[in-house]
Amino acid sequence: MENTSTKNQNIEKSIDSSPIAMFQLVLSADGSISFLYISKDIEHIFFKADKTSFLSNPTLYLESIFQEDYHDFFTTLQTSQKEQSNWFYEFRIKEHEHNFRWIKVFANPENNVDGSTIWHGYFKDISTRKAKDESYKMIEKRFSTIIENFTEGFALIDTEGTILEISTSGKKILGFYNDENTSTIKAKLKIHPEDKAALGNLFLEVIDNQYQAKTIEFRIIMPDGSEKWLETTIHNFLENQAIKTVLLNFRDINEQVLARKQREFDARNLKSLIDNTSDIVWSVDTSFRLISFNTAYEKLIFDYIQESIYPGKNMLETLTFSQTHLALFTSYYKRAFEGETFTAQYNITYLKNLWREVSFYPIKLDGKVIGTACYGKDITERKLNEVALQKTNEQLLAAQSIAKLGYWEVDLVGENHFWSEEMYYIFELDFTQSPLNLADAIKYVHEEDREKLLEQHQLMMTENKYLNLDFRLKMPNGQIKYLVMDARLHKDENGKDIQIRITSQDITIKKKVENDVIQREKRLKAFFEKSTEGIAIVNADKKIIDISPVGKKIFGINTLEEYDKNLVHPDDLIGLRLAFQQVYEQPDSSPTASFRYIKTNGELLWIETHFNNQLTEPSIQGIIMNFMDITKRKKAEQLLKSEQYLLRTIIDNLPLNVYVKDLASRKTLINKAELEYLGFKDEKEGIGKSDYETFTAEYAKIFIEEDQTVFNTGEAIINKETLIEDPTKRRVWYLLSKIPLVNEQGKIDRLIGISIDITEQKLVQEQLIASELMFKNLAKSVPGVVYQLCIEADGTTHFPYLSAKIQEIFGIDFDNNARDLAKYIYSEDKTTFLNSVYLSMVSRSNWNYEGRILTDNGELKWFQGISSPTFLGDKIIFNGILIDITERKNAEESKKHLRQLELSLEKEKEINLLKSRFISFASHEFRTPLATIVTSIDILGIYINMLSDVETKEKLKHHLNRVTSQANRLTEMLSDVLLLEKSANDKINLELEYLDITSLIKDINNQYYHDRKDNRKLELVLPEENKEIYSDASLLKHIINNLIDNAFKYSTNAPNPSLSLEVNDQDFKIIIQDYGIGIPPEDQKHLFEIFFRANNVLNIDGTGLGLNITKEFTHKLGGTISFKSEIGKGTIFTLVFPKQYH
């Protein structure tokens, strides 16, 4: 029976698992405080507290209470003692220097006779609730601020229309500035006379309908006499006891209304303009039906199809006269329906080569395109002019392109100057401007070059010399251009100067290139000397001819002579040489190489080098090496790569579903278990997907709401049990956790999700409950007392289970006396009873005993006890049944009453039949709980492997292996018991067939013994050709497999067992030999008895049923079984069967 100490321990465990810290506190008569009990959750209440230290020195932890709360903590405790009322107080405790927790204490007082008081209660962390209270206060304050700063107006008015309360923005809208510091106006709105009736009717309608809100636009007369348009929503709060008013929510829409009225006016004017224009205007909806059109369009369409048009007509039908026209406008309309605004030009070749230009404007309603408006005009004349102009321009551009010169004719007589297109480009002038005259052009010349240009011009004019000059132009934007100019004077037939003909060319780029080369050489030198990276120049002989100061510092040298290429790490020489070879052979390439360099002081550096071939560059004539010391980066990369690989390996091999999501709930990392669950081939397939793409909308909504809760609150979801349907529609239980991840800026930008499939545990729980219920029902239906007896290591006994039929059958009080059955054994039978139990324990054999019980009412009853012992560590468990055989015993002793004897015999047969049925029923029914136990063992094995404490893990594994072994043994025993029961009742039907005995033996070996963990194998000696027999394949497999299994089991660390087959005309013989422990001579005669096991195999798992079943099956097939055995040398079993069994 469960003692009080055990119960207290269970209660304490239950309390310790509670989310609050339970306690018993004593306030002594002298005012001192001590704790009689505190649960282990105290460590979650007081910072760095543990149960033991808190009980020994509570004052140390109570001193962590905030100074402002410390006094009231004890004051409320004393008040509770004085008034005998519940002690309730909320206080703060310091957790860190700048952090605290809110704690609630609640306890019931109880006075003791010694003047002390004991409180039974708990401490609870209420920091989350307190934070929410503060949040609610802040929300209320923010809401009040929002109302006061809202751009719309709010006002409360009574049924008479008097303003009782109004917001600041409302006063501003209505023009009430007389009292800025109060929300009370006590004034009435002055409504425009034309709007009073409509507003009054709406006001009455809202008052009559409490739950309706109405919106209206109306005008008010402002204090300055001006009008203002308002949009107002009226709400009825007359039934609200806190308000009892009507709420007006209004906003100033004066500008919108005036703008709307202006748009209406403009629309009317636009319609008049459209109807009177010679251009065509029309509109269609998205079904190509005509909405509206002007007169010009109506006339045009009539000219096309000789039919009148009307609103609603399908416009595509009006274009059927030309398939080209139809396809063109169908595409135009579709572009407009997609929201595009555009202008198109098209040629109507079948109508005298006319050109038209049509603009399409999508018509939108609530953001959706419902049609398009079209505006078209005749552009035939413009097109003809454009074609002619384009041809001329093309010819001119071609000439300029060929010459690459600007041409300028300066008219010395009038103002008829000419510029080519190139001249406009040079002076950056618009083509629409007139060419510059000579005086204006000279203004562009740089002031430093202007005098020289004028001198050359004067020489040309006076001496008729050819002018060729380079000079600079200074553009209005400050840009400098370089020009080379050739100029010649042109005279008329009378020798009069009439024109200067000039060709000019922009040489700015050429000049810049020349200057850039000079500057580049300067910058290159400065870069070489000041670069933060190392730079070296290598000649064609692969010898460093120059190196920068930083380069010398990296290599640890002072002069070039100190550099030794042999200090490059041997493993990196090939890669470095290949990079050199590539840059030599492929001058345009820029290879990169990383290598290790050993300095003269032994220090190892990682160098990263970029190569650039400049052998053809006159100022360099070498290969440039840019290099830098990347030792720190290499070490960091190797460390990071190792850590990332380790972390990813751990995540991918965890028996958990792990994933990471971003703020949009899209997956950015998925481990192998989650990929398999979602049905993705690889991680790329799942990255970026949200739950809406992998789950139903119902589950996706739930999961994403959970994500957003974690993101918004920063609080993790831990071990939440969740039932969902996986992608295969299977209902699965998961233990779900979602934890926020914080980035370097301290903000939550991701979360990690972890889920564990606990479906099997859930099923185990359900099956365990069902199994317990089934067992109880089974015990009720069994014609006897079902029991489980446990014998402890110290010899004490107790019954973990005893069915209630003990009182019905044997008259023993179930509640008070049944747990001590030994005292009811009849005194004359006690010795034999105890000896039988002892013999069963020692021999590890089944217990079958008949004896007498003296009941509470003095009646002597016979009973039969049947059970089998199970050894669990130091304990022995007997599971069995007690049957009342009093009637049978009385019948045996009373030969005079033959009829009674016959009845007793029938009763015994019935009991034996029930016993057989019970064994069959129990064997079958025990399979379900055994399967559940095996499943639970597998699940426990997974959880044990997840433990970090190695010592605890190994201990648990040891005990789990023992449980597994016993579960497997019990399963094997149940299977064997069922076979025996079937065989005893002749329920095994033979299925005789022709079969190849050689192939059957090979199949057994390949299936069960081909790949053993201990690398042992079965040595086969079989005929070369197949041997056909006529027998039952299933029974033969069971017989042979059982003997081979025994041969391996009882010959550990011995030579391989063997099987040989001999076949003749009449029969076939199978010989199975092992070289194991052998069978003791004294046990050999009992070897085929049920439940018998030799005394040298008790430490080896087995049921004692295998050989009995083997012998039964051998006889069913008309065969014989025999054996020879010698201790320490092994055993030989010989099977002989008829070749043709009928």
CB atoms within 10 A of CB 446: 14
How far, in Å, are 254, 597, 611 from residue 571 at the CA level? 84, 11, 20
Which tokens is 375 given? 């505006």
Angle at 25 between CA 19 and CA 30, to 5 degrees: 160
pLDDT tens-digit profile of 203-257? Answer: 888 877 776 788 889 898 888 888 999 999 888 877 665 556 788 888 888 888 8
pLDDT in tens, 58-90: 887 788 888 888 889 889 999 999 999 999 999
In this structure, the number of other CB atoms found within 10 A of the CB of residue 129 comes to 13
Q: How many CB atoms lie within 10 A of CB 458?
A: 11
1 pLDDT more than 50: no
- Mean pLDDT is highest, among 614-618, 952-956, 972-976, for 952-956
Q: Residue 12 — very low, low, confident or very high, per pLDDT cuts 50/70/90?
A: very low
pLDDT digits (tens, 9 = 90+) for 752-796: 898 888 887 777 777 667 656 665 655 555 667 888 888 888 878
Amino acid, res. 828: E
pLDDT at 13 over 50: no
Check: CB of residue 726 under 8 Å from CB of residue 703: no
3-state secondary structure (DSSP) of residue 416: coil
Two tokens, residue 50? 């543990």
CA separation, residue 514 to residues 405, 449, 484, 510, 521 (Å): 21, 19, 15, 6, 11
Intra-chain end-to-end CA distance of the chain, in Å = 59
What gap in Å lies between CA 283 and CA 358, rounded to an integer? 12
Burial of 509 per CB tally in 10 Å (0-12, 13-18, 19+)? exposed
The mean per-residue pLDDT over the stretch 324-351 comes to 86
Residue 6 has pLDDT above 70, yes or no: no
**Band of the pLDDT at 24, cuts 50, 70, 90?**
very high
Q: Is 665 left (phi over 0), alpha (psi -120 to 50) or beta?
A: left
Residue among 706, 759, 754, 703 nearest 731 (CA): 759
Q: Structural domains in the chain?
A: 4-129 (3.30.450.20), 151-258 (3.30.450.20), 277-378 (3.30.450.20), 405-505 (3.30.450.20), 513-636 (3.30.450.20), 654-757 (3.30.450.20), 988-1138 (3.30.565.10)
3-state secondary structure 194-211: HHHHHHHHHHHHHHHCCC
- Burial (0-12, 13-18, 19+ Cβ within 10 Å), 81: middle
Counting residues of the chain whose pLDDT is more than 70, the rounded percentage is 84
Confidence (pLDDT) at 965: 61
The pLDDT score that the predictor gives to residue 408 is 82
pLDDT score of 840? 84
pLDDT of residue 11: 42
Q: Which two tokens stand for residue 658?
A: 């792990």
pLDDT tens for each residue of 619-632: 566 788 888 888 88
Residue 15 pLDDT class (50, 70, 90 cuts): very low
Provide the pLDDT for residue 923: 61
**pLDDT bucket at 338, cuts 50 / 70 / 90:** very high
Can you tell me the mean pLDDT for 334-354? 83
Per DSSP, what are the bridge partners of residue 748? 742
Q: Are strands 467-474 and 33-38 parallel, antiparallel or unpaired?
A: unpaired
| More confidently predicted of 916 and 417 | 417
Q: Which of 286-295, 396-405, 409-418, 1073-1082 has the lowest mean pLDDT?
A: 396-405
Residue located via tokens 């049905």: 679
H/E element, 709: helix 697-713
How confident is the prediction for the chain on average, in pLDDT?
A: 81
Whether 1112 has a pLDDT exceeding 60, the answer reads yes
Query: How confident is the model over 903-914, as a mean pLDDT?
Result: 63
317 — pLDDT class (breaks 50, 70, 90)? confident
What pLDDT sits at residue 16?
42
Q: Rounded to whole angstroms, how far apart are CA atoms 904 and 1033?
A: 43
Q: Which residues pair with 467 in a beta bridge?
A: 487
Query: Going by C-beta distance under 8 Å and a sequence separation of 6 or more, which residues neighbour residue 784?
Result: 805, 809, 881, 882, 883, 884
Amino acid type, 1048: F
Q: For residues 511 and 7, which has the higher predicted lDDT (pLDDT)?
A: 511
The amino acid that residue 392 corresponds to is: T
Average pLDDT of 702-717?
Answer: 90
Q: CA-to-CA distance for 654 and 672, rounded, in angstroms?
A: 9
Beta carbons of 174 and 252 less than 8 angstroms apart = no
pLDDT, tens digit, 9 for 90 and up, residues 551-600:
888 877 777 676 665 678 888 888 888 888 888 888 888 888 888 888 87
pLDDT band at 8 (very low <50, low <70, confident <90, very high): very low
Query: How does pLDDT run across 380-435, given as a tens digit for each residue?
Result: 888 888 877 777 767 666 665 565 678 888 888 877 788 877 788 888 888 777 77
Looking at per-residue confidence, does 274 or 715 come out higher? Answer: 715
Q: 418 or 965, which is more confident? A: 418
